[in-house]
Amino acid sequence: MSETTTNGKGSLAFSSLNLHKDLVQNLSSLGYQEMTPIQAQSLPEMLMGKDVIAQAKTGSGKTAAFGLALLEKLEVKRFRIQSMILCPTRELADQVAKEIRKLARAVHNIKVLTLCGGTPFGPQIGSLEHGAHIIVGTPGRIEEHVIKGTLKLDDLNLLILDEADRMLEMGFEAALDNIVERTPLDRQTLLFSATFPKQIQAISESIMTDPVIIKVSTEEDQSNISQEFFHVEDDVERFEALRLILLDNPVESTAIFCNTKKETQAVCNKLHDDGFSVLALHGDLEQKDRDQTLLRFANKSAAILVATDVAARGLDIDSLDLVVNYNIAHDSEVHIHRIGRTGRAGAQGKAVSLFSDKESYKVGLIEDELEQVIKPGLLPSAEVLNNVRLQAKMATIQIDGGKKQKVRPGDILGALTAKNTEGKNGGVEITGKDVGKISVLDIRSYVAVDKKVLKSALRKLSMGKMKGRTYKVRHLTV
């Protein structure tokens, strides 16, 4: 087992690799020129067929790394399941499948099939009977298919575990064992993990052959993130400190991390009662509610997300203005991962952490990780409690029609921006600037609109036609 560590300095072009020219040309058209540190370190090893363990956080370019290795290895003319990517959650699996399809668009006839829980089992069997090259899915549903014999892995030559640490946290170790037992022994195995708990070492020893370990230092990546720490005496003071911090930092997008599901929901409820625009994300939510929560936060139709670490991993959010650690993370690596969600793409980020005497030892571990002394700061003045609670600018509308009804983002945008034909009763005109993110799923679509045009948007979408028919619509609220 060999190990490579890099501080992320320097860059290499994708064209320097021995990739198929169609893949390189497609990367160029997507604007991918130079490799990120994790790509530069891991791709050459993966392309040589080696087993790889890579420490990589969300936003590091890890999906493109293993996606390119997968596509380079794939034999399109062999219509068999050759590659499988296991992800801890349905939302991450959907993101990964979307990225793979984007990377593969220059290579014709590649079929990617997503198999996740929370969706009907029967249609998945039908899709498997039609065949696929690549499977992306969650351990529970994949295990169900392999045990029932509806998913055959005899031709699998590449197995990828994405966010392996989180899969172990969620209790998927037995499911992973069941799945791996049904794969060929001579496969290549790639394991990506944001943190390196002891379980990662154990699972790698049981399913991998002489893996190359790659770790990319996050030190440079987080130089643009300012950190503040505040000492609190008890839980009452902790919540009051949170209110002070939020009211002193009226930003568009904030994530608050708690260590338990119960506390996550309790903090969300108290903030909501105090007038904040807030949503909760934790493992006790139904899949549909999880999906809608993530979508609404990404749409900027909620200003604050309170979440557990397990639920928030894989968040597809472009940038967070502020991260608040309501509790100090159990592991200093998790703390680094949390705060790394702000300050993306070179932007200035801010992270605030609250701690009590009982958590002082955890602060000490963070000091060791950062190699600096942490001095608690002074909380904002109580005067900020009179400040207006920042509300989200956008609202999210659900449309009961999606890809299966041939609905496209352009159809939704066109329906919203069409000129009013009802005179003064037609509502305000809507322009493209009033429309935010549009997400079209299989049987539903979601669109974010500026709150000032919400009533007009609901009227237009419910009364107007897309693809020759009308659809039921509703405003998603807390």
Q: What is the pLDDT of residue 315?
A: 63
Q: Which of 333, 361, 386 is the last residue of a domain?
A: 386
Residues 445 and 309 in one domain: no
Residues 378 and 471 in one domain: no
Element (H, E) at 281: strand 278-281
Residues 351 and 464 in one domain: no
Residue found by looking up tokens 């893996």 in the block: 211
Residues 381 and 411 in one domain: no
Structurally, the chain folds into a number of domains equal to: 3
Residues 170 and 233 in one domain: no
Contact 192, 62 (CB under 8 A): yes
Residues 252 and 303 in one domain: yes
More confident residue, 433 or 333: 433
Distance CA 351, CA 279 (A): 19
Q: Which of 216, 236, 254 is the last residue of a domain?
A: 216
pLDDT of 431 over the 60 cut: yes
Question: What pLDDT, in 10s, does the model give residues 57-93?
Answer: 666 789 999 999 999 999 999 999 999 999 988 888 9
CATH code, domain with 400: 3.30.70.330
Residues 378 and 408 in one domain: no
Residues 44 and 115 in one domain: yes
Q: Which two tokens stand for residue 369?
A: 């990780």
Residue 272: pLDDT band by 50, 70, 90 thresholds? Answer: very high
Residue 218 CB burial class (10 angstroms; 0-12, 13-18, ≥19): buried
Task: Spell 115-135 as b/e; 16+ CB within 10 A means b.
Answer: bbbeeeeeebeeebeeebbbb
Average pLDDT, the chain: 88
Residues 120 and 47 in one domain: yes
Residues 59 and 131 in one domain: yes
CATH code, domain with 329: 3.40.50.300
Distance CA 363, CA 335 (A): 10
pLDDT of 314 over the 90 cut: no
Residue 9: pLDDT band by 50, 70, 90 thresholds? Answer: very low
Residues 305 and 442 in one domain: no
pLDDT of 165 over the 90 cut: no
Distance CA 50, CA 211 (A): 7
Q: Which two tokens stand for residue 169?
A: 């946290």
- Find the mean pLDDT for residues 445-461: 95
Q: Which of 169, 196, 216 is the last residue of a domain?
A: 216
DSSP state of 355: E
pLDDT of 257 over the 90 cut: yes
Residues 212 and 230 in one domain: no
Give the range of the structural domain holding residue 429, as residue numbers without chain letter.
Answer: 394-476
